[in-house]
């Protein structure tokens, strides 16, 4: 009998070798979710994703203006599909619940974090043949739809469109009153970066709760889909060090140096590696 955990992690490693544009973002998010919920019915969730995709294709076919690039109609069609037809909403009441970052649980509960809901938006938009990408907004993941121009959408807020004044207010809420919109504020994200942001929510919450083993496990799953992410190798190495996993710490830190051999962090890691190797002798 196939081990669901091994199966999920093998799928993540396969995704880690694929070009960003070829990733099926929602399916990879399901495999990440399987790691933390191995007994959940992920195939039923996969069927639900197929249902969303089919509905998005039908919505595009039913609205020629949206399909021709009318962004207000595209946004309205996706918001109606995901938030009305399928009943998804942001979970403001139990925001920090880890279930909100697990796509299997999000599908079960129809509630989630902005980035989890955003993955469903990106999945539906891609199925419809409409261009969309994640927005690396501080503290609050957003989605941008492109067509005749661009519209930024608050997927946590039911798919509401955000004008410049709305974005400015949102930024000040999360980054402080002195923060101002800039080029980096609305930086587009690739699919892999969106998946890493999803998992980072889990990693941060586990660290906050003192679950270091859970945090390093999450980090290693992130590395399965992003094997060249140097900062994650460093984080994994430092967590393994704290756990007393000296060999694993050395392996992770050596990989960090292969990917990022220069700079002050590399210098500090070299010093730490010397210390860790001495402890092995």
Alpha-carbon distance of 160 to 164, in angstroms, equals: 13
Q: Does residue 198 sit within a domain? A: no
Question: Are residue 95 and residue 50 in the same domain, yes or no?
Answer: yes
Q: What is the full DSSP assignment across 53-104?
A: HHHHHHHHHH-HHHHTT-HHHHHHHHHIIIIIIS--EE--TTTT-GGGG-HH
End residue of a domain, out of 191, 217, 244:
191
Alpha-carbon distance of 149 to 132, in angstroms, equals: 12
Question: Are residue 271 and residue 142 in the same domain, yes or no?
Answer: no
Alpha-carbon distance of 249 to 240, in angstroms, equals: 5
Question: Are residue 41 and residue 176 in the same domain, yes or no?
Answer: yes
pLDDT at 254: 98
Question: Are residue 81 and residue 36 in the same domain, yes or no?
Answer: yes
Question: Are residue 236 and residue 161 in the same domain, yes or no?
Answer: no
Per-residue pLDDT averaged across 163-169, rounded?
A: 94
The share of the chain scoring above pLDDT 70, in percent, equals 99
Question: Are residue 87 and residue 27 in the same domain, yes or no?
Answer: yes
- Let me know how many helices (H) and strands (E) the chain has, helices first: 13, 7
Q: Does residue 208 sit within a domain? A: no
| Nearest Cα residue to 60 out of 46, 80, 74 | 74
Q: Does residue 199 sit within a domain? A: no
Question: Are residue 181 and residue 264 in the same domain, yes or no?
Answer: no
Instruction: Determine the length of the chain.
Output: 281
Q: Does residue 133 sit within a domain? A: yes
pLDDT at 229: 98
The domain of 241 spans 228-280
Question: Are residue 55 and residue 115 in the same domain, yes or no?
Answer: yes
Q: Does residue 19 sit within a domain? A: yes
Of the ranges 125-139, 151-165, 171-185, 230-244, which one carries the lowest mean pLDDT score?
A: 171-185
The share of the chain scoring above pLDDT 90, in percent, equals 90
Question: Are residue 44 and residue 180 in the same domain, yes or no?
Answer: yes
Place 1 in a pLDDT band, splitting at 50, 70 and 90. low
pLDDT at 33: 98
Question: Are residue 164 and residue 265 in the same domain, yes or no?
Answer: no
**For the segment 47-75, what is each residue's pLDDT rounded down to a tens digit?**
999 999 999 999 999 999 999 999 999 99
Q: Does residue 47 sit within a domain? A: yes
**How many domains does the structure of the chain reveal?**
2
Per-residue pLDDT averaged across 233-261, rounded?
A: 97
CB 118, CB 134: distance < 8 Å: yes
Question: Are residue 232 and residue 186 in the same domain, yes or no?
Answer: no
Q: What is the mean pLDDT of the chain?
A: 96
Question: Are residue 243 and residue 142 in the same domain, yes or no?
Answer: no
pLDDT at 281: 72
b/e burial code for range 256-273 (CB count within 10 A of at least 16 → b) = bbeeeeeeeebeebeebb
């Amino acid at each position: 009998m196939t081990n669901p955990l091994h199966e999920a992690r093998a799928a993540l490693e396969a995704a880690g070798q694929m070009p960003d544009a070829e990733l099926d973002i929602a399916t990879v998010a399901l495999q990440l979710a399987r790691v933390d919920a191995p007994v959940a019915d992920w195939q039923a969730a996969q069927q639900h994703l197929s249902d969303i995709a089919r509905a998005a294709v039908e919505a595009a076919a039913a609205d020629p203006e949206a399909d021709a690039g009318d962004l207000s109609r595209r946004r309205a069609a996706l918001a109606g599909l995901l938030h009305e037809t399928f009943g998804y909403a942001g979970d403001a009441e139990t925001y920090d619940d880890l279930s909100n970052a697990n796509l299997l649980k999000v599908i079960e509960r129809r509630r989630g974090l902005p980035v989890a809901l955003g993955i469903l938006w990106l999945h539906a938009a891609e199925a419809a043949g409409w261009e969309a990408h994640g927005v690396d907004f501080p503290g609050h993941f957003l989605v941008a739809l492109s067509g005749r121009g661009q519209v930024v959408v608050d997927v946590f807020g039911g798919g509401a469109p955000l004008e410049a004044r709305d974005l400015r207010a949102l930024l000040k809420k999360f980054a402080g009153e002195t923060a101002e919109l800039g080029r980096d504020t609305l930086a587009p994200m690739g699919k892999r970066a969106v998946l890493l942001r999803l998992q980072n929510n889990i990693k941060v919450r586990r660290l906050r709760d003192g679950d270091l083993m859970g945090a390093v496990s999450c980090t290693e799953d992130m590395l399965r889909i992003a094997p060249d992410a140097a900062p994650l190798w460093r984080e994994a190495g430092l967590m393994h060090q704290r756990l007393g996993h000296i060999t694993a710490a050395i392996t992770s830190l050596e990989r960090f140096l292969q990917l990022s051999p220069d700079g002050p962090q590399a210098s500090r890691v070299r010093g730490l590696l010397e210390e860790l190797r001495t402890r092995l002798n």
